[in-house]
Structure 1
């Protein structure tokens, strides 16, 4: 039985590694450049990023918002459930709203589009389907697609979410290296945990 487990571990990890490797040729770097250039302007303009997604995409959206906040791009996750009960009031003119939906048809995510358009927020759609309502309705389309999810049915969002997070990590760290963010800045906002202790030992 242990051998069977190991075969599954190896297959899934190999599938996910290959998915991340494929991003080197499937991601549109020109679109990523456009996103980085936009994010670099937000803090100075007093604007922010709002992210949203449902299910596993929601978890990815929370991770993206956290990483951007870490590098001094003010960001927050707006729950799709709360958004239609007044939460969309946090979205203001000039903000960037990142909406994640693998197929681009999730109604809870499409609900954001009218308010974003009316308020003058820039919508970045993260989906595999450029012809979906999200793909057609966003201002900037970041297409993240995978051939097959690693699960036995090819249905459970896993590799596609790893891919979306990896793409946004690349975007975030490109921003970090061009917005003047330093270790001293990092220590100011991350004094806790083992990371804070390592920074403290450097006497920043």
Structure 2
């Protein structure tokens, strides 16, 4: 692998083996790290390990979050969940589906936007909580007491402001490409997403692993 010629404290070959074993433990014996997905996993490992040298080579900005995109069933959520095992405690992403957030908004209203943005700090500290919003783009506009809102768009816009002011990190998984995201959320949010995220995309040939 390319990391062999890079000064790094980590053995990525062993990390991939350990990741595959953890995947089997959690998701079953069918879980496997496929060759076509290794470049994506390498970038994720470098990011979540905060390995500056490998991240630099892979074009990953460690001060941004991750926008992980790929076809349905390619393993996006599973990989983010596995990356939680190697991440420092304060930076472990809390994974929540965008659909779940919409359900919460329908029940509790605009407090949900604050919960995942301006109130998204650990108690008694200025340390922001890291969230991974899963399946961005599959949710719908939600109405609460007559007010209709694109909840995830408002949360991301608020977290962008907090990214600028408090270095709040956000991760996202999605089945959609950048043009499709812009069609749903508009150019205003897309331009902020460029600032907030490293784009990591699975190859289009990646297979559906749930089959």
Q: TM-score range with shorter-chain normalisation? A: 0.3 to 0.5
TM-score, reference length from structure 1: 0.39
Greater RCO structure (CA 8 Å; 6+ sep): 2
User: Which has more helix, going by share of residues?
Assistant: 1
